């Protein structure tokens, strides 16, 4: 790993993201991909019947399987991989049909546990200035060739909301080269500052309160709407397998569909919340549970 210096930290503070090259070696990358392959091997589509994970359009209700996935390992299909009944299309290869696996790989799967609590990450997070960092969720995202859908512009604090605002960062580790063609991340540099100035996020994604579920007819919902971001202000950030991007919780980012024939874009990502002086919002879809509370980074 190239060392992160104070200019890098200033750049992170200015731009809202930071590329760290060669964070993990080729062997370590393969280790994570193999661990994921074993997880998919274990999936019995008949028993588990994963739902599709919609990244665009109406994301209002993600249902109970999603809502209760914070302390489990659960699978979500690409929308284009399932039929109208939500079942895997006939003859579809499950390895090429999954959108993501989440959200407690960092605790429940030993390989991801090892790399999540890696000394290099602890060092980075310390440099960024987090005092009591804790891991709140983790995901393996496949961005499958041909069918990997777009993720529209958003900020992560929409999903992981804190008081004060934006006390969350994302660690996004490429396990395959992330290029413009197969759906790398795009950012609006400095957009986290606009959100800070505005004093709140434009959209929240929340769990519906117990007493309102019947009336609302859903378990989760979005409130508010994103502005029409100027497409020309997004910059692509292609990275190589083994590189990582540190993402500020308030910076606007997106990814385009994977338009390649055979180049998936696997990544492992997780989120870290600053627990010192921070309150986790009760309406967040993700809540710590007694089985899996948010895990302090220095606890392992």
**Residues in contact with Fe ion by the rule CB under 5 A:** 156
> Rounded to whole angstroms, what are the CA distances from 49 to 43, 88, 139?
9, 8, 18
Q: By beta-carbon distance, which residue lies closest to Fe ion?
A: 156
Q: How near is the Cβ of 110 to Fe ion at its closest, in Å?
A: 26
**Nearest-approach distance from CB 154 to Fe ion, in angstroms:** 6
DSSP string, 129-179: T-SSEEEEEEEEE---TTT---EEEE-GGGTS-EESTT-EEEEEEESS-B-
Coil, helix or strand at residue 93: coil
Considering the complex, what minimum distance in angstroms separates the CB of residue 247 from Fe ion?
7
Judged by CB, which is closer to Fe ion: 168, or 297? 168
Instruction: Check: CB of residue 180 under 8 Å from CB of residue 131.
Output: no
Say how far apart CA 237 and CA 32 lie, in whole Å.
22
Question: Which CB, 125 or 245, lies closer to Fe ion?
Answer: 245
Nearer to Fe ion, 92 or 248 (CB): 248
Name the helix (H) or strand (E) containing 47.
Answer: helix 45-48
Give least dist CB 293 to Fe ion, A.
Answer: 23
For residue 228, give every residue at least 6 positions away whose Cβ sits within 8 Å of its Cβ, in sequence order, or none: none
- Smallest distance, Å, CB 81 to Fe ion? 21
Residue with Cβ nearer Fe ion (16 or 51): 16
Specify the residue for token string 């996020």.
201
C-beta of 17 vs 88, nearer to Fe ion: 17
């Amino acid at each position: 790993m190239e060392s992160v210096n104070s200019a890098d930290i200033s750049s992170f503070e200015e731009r809202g993201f930071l590329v760290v090259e060669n964070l993990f070696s080729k062997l370590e990358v393969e280790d994570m991909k193999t661990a994921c392959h074993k997880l998919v091997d274990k999936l019995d589509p008949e028993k588990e019947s994963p739902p599709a994970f919609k990244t665009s359009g109406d994301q209002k209700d993600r249902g109970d399987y999603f809502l209760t996935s914070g302390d489990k390992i659960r699978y979500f299909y690409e929308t284009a991989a399932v039929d109208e009944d939500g079942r895997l299309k006939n003859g579809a290869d499950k390895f090429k049909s999954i959108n993501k696996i989440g959200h407690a790989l960092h605790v429940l799967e030993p390989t991801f546990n090892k790399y999540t609590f890696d000394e290099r990450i602890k060092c980075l997070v310390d440099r960024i200035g987090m005092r009591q960092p804790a891991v709140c969720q983790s995901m393996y995202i496949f961005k499958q060739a041909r069918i990997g859908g777009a993720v529209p512009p958003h900020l992560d604090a929409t999903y992981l909301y804190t008081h004060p605002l934006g006390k969350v960062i994302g660690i996004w580790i490429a396990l395959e080269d992330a290029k413009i063609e197969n759906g790398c991340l795009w950012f609006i540099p400095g957009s986290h500052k606009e959100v800070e100035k505005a004093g709140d996020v434009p959209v929240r994604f929340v769990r519906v309160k117990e007493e309102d579920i019947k009336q609302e007819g859903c378990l989760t919902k979005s409130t508010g709407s994103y502005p029409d971001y100027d497409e020309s202000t997004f910059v692509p950030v292609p990275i190589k397998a083994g590189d990582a991007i540190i993402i500020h919780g308030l910076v606007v980012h997106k990814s385009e569909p994977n338009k390649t024939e055979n180049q998936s874009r696997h990544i492992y990502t997780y989120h870290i919340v600053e627990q010192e002086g921070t309150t986790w919002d009760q309406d967040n879809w993700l809540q710590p549970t007694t089985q899996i509370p948010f895990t302090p980074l220095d606890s392992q």
